[in-house]
Structure 1
Amino acid sequence: MNEYPQSKFLRRSIQDGLHLKYRPSFWTKIHLDPWLLGLLFINVAVGLMVLYSASAQDLNMVIKQGTSFMLGTIIMVICAQIPPKVYQAASPYFYYLGLAMLILVIFIGDTRLGAKRWLTLPGIGSMQPSELMKFATPLMVTWYITRNPLPPKFKHIVIAGILMVLPMILIALQPDLGAGILIMISGVFVLFLSGISWRIIAGSIGFVLALLPILWMFVLQAYQKKRILTLFDPESDALGAGWNITQSKIAIGSGGFFGKGYLNGTQSHHGFLPEHHTDFIMSTFSEEFGLFGVFLLFVLYGAIIIRSLSIAMMSFHNYGRILVGTLALSFFFYVAVNSGMVSGIFPVTGDPLPFLSYGGTAVITLMAGFGIMMSVHTHR
């Protein structure tokens, strides 16, 4: 029985396809995925509705967030038109630009609430460079890893680790250790999807565990240690570091199964729940819509993640498959971390809930990431 070599088989399959009349759909022509687009717009609508309640019916805040969503949608459509090869070639430049902006934050950044995380750009306004690094870092690590045969060798893993650690250190100096760790984990997802051995994974976990005492003694600030300690015993400082977790649990528990009803939350509307329109907006949502509403929200998030992973699986090249898979897993991780934070499972880190928490830069970077996913899908 004659068998074609793989290369000859691929060439023949292309030639055979020329005899068929292929008519791309409307969505393929405009390089958008209707399923993912519809799910995102539903999530956006839910986010604006919840923000209206969480902001004490501040219409100006909702309009600003809606404007950010509109700008993000335009950027998403533009990103979807650009072929993945362009992203692959431009990945280092995105990464270096993000590092340069993080360095600028140290010297000329805006300080708010004791943290220097924002950079004011002429003609653009205020932005957080750390949000840009949420997809610049996986772009860079994916670019580097896929330049070499997979699974990657140990030296390539080490260099990729350096690429992840650099932005994490710069972001931790702002200080924003939580965002820095999340960005580093997005790079870890790239290595995981690239097929590294389980022995390296187990060794890395052991190394991190051995490093924890050193981080506790010499790296973590006093307020960061207090957040971790109050996670296990919020009542030890109920009026201080434990206030956020305690009030968040009260809001979530008081919602019951069906919630108190839209605009009828008490913990957020009466000022007991801090940051109820940003970091703790999930608590506001839980209080008003209850367990049933949270379940539907998680179903929506789950549908977005599953669709994103299916796009990754349908990609025919390593760069697109690993990049989209990493962006999907990172989106899942952001949802999990914020949900765990407001329910007292994880320490308070200040990371927003995707598409619900107020914040323009986060919305725009998320939409840009989904635009890259659609580009990989429709250019396959």
Structure 2
Amino acid sequence: MIRNTVATLVAIALTSVGSLAQTIAEDFKPSSLNQPGQEYPQVNSQGYARFRINAPKADSVRVSLGLGGRGGTILTKGADGFWTGTTAGPLDEGFHYYNVTVDGGKFNDPGAQNYYGSVRWESGIEIPAHDQDFYALKDVPHGMVQQILFPSKSTNTSRRAFVYTPPGYEKDKSKKYPVLYLQHGWGEDETAWSNQGHANLIMDNMIADGKIKPFIIVMTYGMTNEVKFGKIREFKIDPFQAVLTDELIPYVDANFRTLANRDNRAMAGLSMGGMETKMITLNKPETFGYYGLLSGGVYAPEDLNGKAKPKLVFISCGSKERPDGVKKSATDLKAAGYNAVSYVSENTAHEFQTWRRSLHELAPLLFKN
């Protein structure tokens, strides 16, 4: 009886393993972020990713996903010299950085487009999201994202920023606009919010739907000194604060049609950019009227006590981060008399789908009379 029971359990286990292996849908398609004409990497309808790398003389190939290349998918070599492998499980919806390790050396996937993250250009893959319509490229009026180079005496160089101006900005020369200063995360740069975050498309679509008041977005590099991963506590805000408040803001106000006052100026940022936002808004409460921390910490009532009162405090994160802290912060701020809003992105972690959704929630709350 015991022998038969064991045999039955083994058979059930083997059947279950086989069933699990068969649950991966073989409807893989090239990622939307592939280089032109490249078939791999691919994603399927369940969110699995499949990679194929040509390395005929290699002894080992592994793909690492996420900011900093966490985890790994080991690829298997075929007779044709191509290494192929599929992730062990589905990935979160949205954008992911990744890199390829070949015999211990780190490389980018030649099949994928590259995006600046982890203080280097990384390969990118997009897992289609159920709510991707809000950042889709649509047949609507589009704003413009332009590069500017502004003088910075404090760093003795010219620095770069990207400026989003909404549809119609070029036509009506009399209209002035509020401004959101939007910061990237650690290891990224001023290209992140447009390239990975689709901030311009999010804005275009909401403006077309009449959901937001049009405003300008300014995105600049948030580092004035090199800080390595894990050493973020050593980051000093003063040099970047000088660049932003003493150099960039005056340049933008002088060269774009802005409503140059606190009530029409916001600052927000993701991750490290949220940390920068918190520090600068607390140091310069007379400069910004709206605050946004996207997976970038929280405010407590005592942080804001005695300072110029913000018109809005927006705090967000992914449900796989620390949502309880975000919700508690907003609750405490409301109880203290502040206009505070919390948002939690469902089923996402410290990643761009969280921040795309956060911008989509934040934008309609900005610059309300």
Tell me which structure has the larger Cα radius of gyration: 2
The higher relative CO (CA closer than 8 Å, separation ≥ 6) is in 1
Task: Give 1 or 2: higher helix fraction.
Answer: 1
TM-score normalised by L of structure 1: 0.30
TM-score normalised by L of structure 2: 0.31
Task: Give 1 or 2: higher strand fraction.
Answer: 2
